[in-house]
Structure 1
């Protein structure tokens, strides 16, 4: 078995209940931190439990291959966990052994076995022994190894039964039983700020751990979020007209759980925000949660280029400049090539609609305005005479598309052809009747 213990406080629980989990009324800030840390841990394994009100333990043996091995998983947890308030990390074959090592600053066993490593650690690292530390110290017992060398019968009669049980669990001689954390259906967390903050950009440092918890929760549910709402509560010493607080909702064009992208978007919005009163608490809620398709972990690379995708970069630019200033093209269900593409804000999610499949192949490039061609002997010319290869394909309609402010419409009736030019290659041309009844030819597109 491979356990890791994440300690958020170096202090021990109250002596009266060494093995119980602290309630939210006893340690409200610690309880919130533990709950958020457990949400983040659920992305690695469903076997996550709270221990003694100050730590989270998780069993990772079955998750090592999924996260590229023990070394890679250790590096990731050691790098990310401190941002969630973790002050100590311990890796061991038992959960209580890992917690004891985390309290003493021992990261892992290295090349040693569990027993000799634990034997060297002080009594105070084990909660059940810390309750009797004063009595044991007067008897010359200062380490777990010295305590373990005492006769078990005498220890059982002199002290409570929890001491031997806790020692056996730490050394792997007795099974450990935990109440596993469930993955909540919705995500909503809060965090109290250590000090009043009156600058909006500074809230990013406190919001980042909340976003980490949200991304961990999304990964545990194999889902993504299309946005989130960050709410802040003003300090009780605020002005009367400041109100209770405020909120900021950030949307994405697609469901994802990319922490750095969410952080960048939030930073852009906070940079433009002015707080009307100091903030003492933050709350975060996930929006638009939906299941996402997992990336393939095949040996072949998914992309030959690194960095952010274009969609994520455009979202960040839109957050800085405003959504109405960053536009993207999108297709509409219109068989007229001139108006089949519209432009809209990049952040809007648009469902793709299936259009009728044209009989002719579509050109690679369209001209901004169709170019009228010369006609000689009833044959269109463009850098020489054109040879009509495929066609005609009749496109007719637009009586409903009225020009703004006028009574005119964009009604067209065209016969499209694929034509061949000896110098310009394959072209997309059409013929139409002008107002005077004359048949005219136009160049509308070019095939690459």
Structure 2
């Protein structure tokens, strides 16, 4: 077995670790292993079964330690059992695997184990300064003079006795709170605390193989606020696609916060996941990625939408409609695609690369359509009919279309997409698109 201990500040250190901080770090750690426990001022992870998944201990450390530091961890240690990892973390020794465990633990001070910390004054009077000093004392004398917890802790730390743990359970819904270290007067200053909450959200999503499309940041005003300021405020951020990328969510939240003005100083934050969706896992390519390190286009568009306004950044959405001019609709980038929007079957016939906004009526000579000369009909007809249900409220008419499409050739302009109407009193020809 392999254990890792993430130590938080002790109660006597400048930043006291609260239950909320320990719980937040534990939930975040669940993305690396399902076996996470809280012990004293640390979070313990049994990562023996996760090494192969993450590519070894060094690769796991590169992913584990930076995020743990952001959440307040001050030390990291590895050891064959949980209590030894906790003792090494207290002592500031990270690697507990390179030497025999006894050689690493014996020089450590008594304060690294809480069971010995309570008796350190008595032990110091009999000349014990380290764990090794206590371990060399007669066991019978230790058992008579001290409680059973002392010997049990020594045996567990040195791997001579088993340990039991209460595993942290992932909550069904994500709802996390954070008390800011000091009151903030500007909305942009809330991003520091909000990023910690986003780290927890990303870990919760990763453990459930989900991504979020909407989350809400709530803030509570200081108790000394004016009466008109209210209890607090909230900001909902939406994404076009499910994601759990912390950097992208932070940048997106920063854009929205830049447009918020606080009515009073803020001291507490709360983050909730409003909408989550399944996030399929993609296979990692063995080939080099030319775009590696670059921000995806979808993330850039979402940040531009947050900065410029939803109505100014649009994207096309495929629709299951046989009428070409209605086969795609424009919608805000931040608005999620409706379910089934990506399942529109591809057209069976070739489609033009450029579609005219309004079809151009063509002259007809001797029943032959003309466009800078007579057109030669190459392929068709492709019959399209639909829109009888689509009513234009302004004109009171339906947008029913019944057409026969052809691929035609013009001696001067190349391949064209033309159609002939079928419902009109007099059939007419129209130019609707150009092929590249």
Q: How does 1:209-224 map to 2 (within 5 A)?
A: 209-224=196-211
- 2:278 maps to which of 291, 301, 304: 291
Aligned pairs (5 A) from 1:34-113: 34-52=22-40, 54-109=41-96, 111-113=98-100
Q: Is the 8 A contact 1:255 1:288 kept in 2?
A: no
Q: Does 1:305 align with 2:294?
A: no
Unaligned runs of 5+ in 2: none
What secondary structure sits across from 1:64 in the alignment?
Answer: helix
For the pair 1:366 / 2:363, whether they are aligned, the reply is no
SS at the partner of 1:347?
coil
Check the 8 A contact 2:212/2:273 in 1, yes or no: yes
Q: How far off its partner does 1:297 sit?
A: 3.5
Can you give the 5+ residue segments of structure 1 that lack an aligned partner in the other structure?
Answer: 14-26
What's the counterpart of residue 403 of structure 2? Answer: 414
Query: Are the equivalent residues in 1 in contact too, given 2:85–2:96 (CA < 8 A)?
Result: no
Residues in 1 aligned to 2:7 and 2:344: alpha-carbon distance in whole angstroms: 57
TM-score (norm 1): 0.88
Aligned pair partner of 2:122 in 135, 156, 179: 135
Post-superposition CA distance 1:255-313 (Å, at most 9, x none) = 22111111111111111111111111111111112322112235356x54232322222
User: Separation in 1 of the partners of 2:368 and 2:207?
Assistant: 66
In structure 2, how many angstroms separate the alpha carbons of the residues matched to 1:217 and 1:434?
A: 57
Label 1:253 to 1:413 Cα distance change in 2 as closer, same or farther (>3 A). Answer: same
For residues 312 and 160 of structure 1, what CA distance do their matches in structure 2 show? 59
**SS of corresponding position for 2:137:** coil
Match of 1:239 among 215, 226, 234: 226
**Higher mean C-alpha deviation, range 122-131 or range 419-428:** 419-428
CA separation in 1, counterparts of 2:266 and 2:126?
52
1:7-406 alignment to 2 at 5 Å? 7-11=7-11, 30-52=18-40, 54-109=41-96, 111-297=98-284, 299-300=286-287, 304-306=290-292, 307-349=294-336, 350-352=338-340, 360-373=349-362, 375=364, 377-382=366-371, 385-398=374-387, 401=390, 403=392, 405-406=394-395
- Of the three residues 409, 425, 428, the one matched with 2:417 is 428
Question: Quick one: structure 1 residues 285 and 29, their matched pair in 2 at CA, closer, same or farther if it must change by over 3 Å?
Answer: farther
Q: Could you state the TM-score of these two structures normalised by the residue count of structure 2?
A: 0.91
Residues 360 and 391, structure 1, Cα contact 8 Å, conserved in 2? no
RMSD of aligned alpha carbons: 2.7
Residues 443, 126 of structure 1: alpha-carbon distance in 2 compared, 3 angstrom cutoff: same
Other-structure match for 1:17: none
Superposed CA deviations along residues 14-35 of structure 1, whole A, max 9, x for unmatched, are: xxxxxxxxxxxxx996100011
Paired residue secondary structure (1:344): strand
Q: Secondary structure at the match of 1:185?
A: coil
Deviations 1:188-216 (A, max 9, x none): 11111222211111010011111111111
Q: 1:398 to 1:72 in 2, by over 3 A?
A: closer
How many pairs align?
Answer: 432
Aligned to 1:23: none
Whole-Å Cα distance in 1 between the matches of residues 345 and 54 of structure 2?
Answer: 45
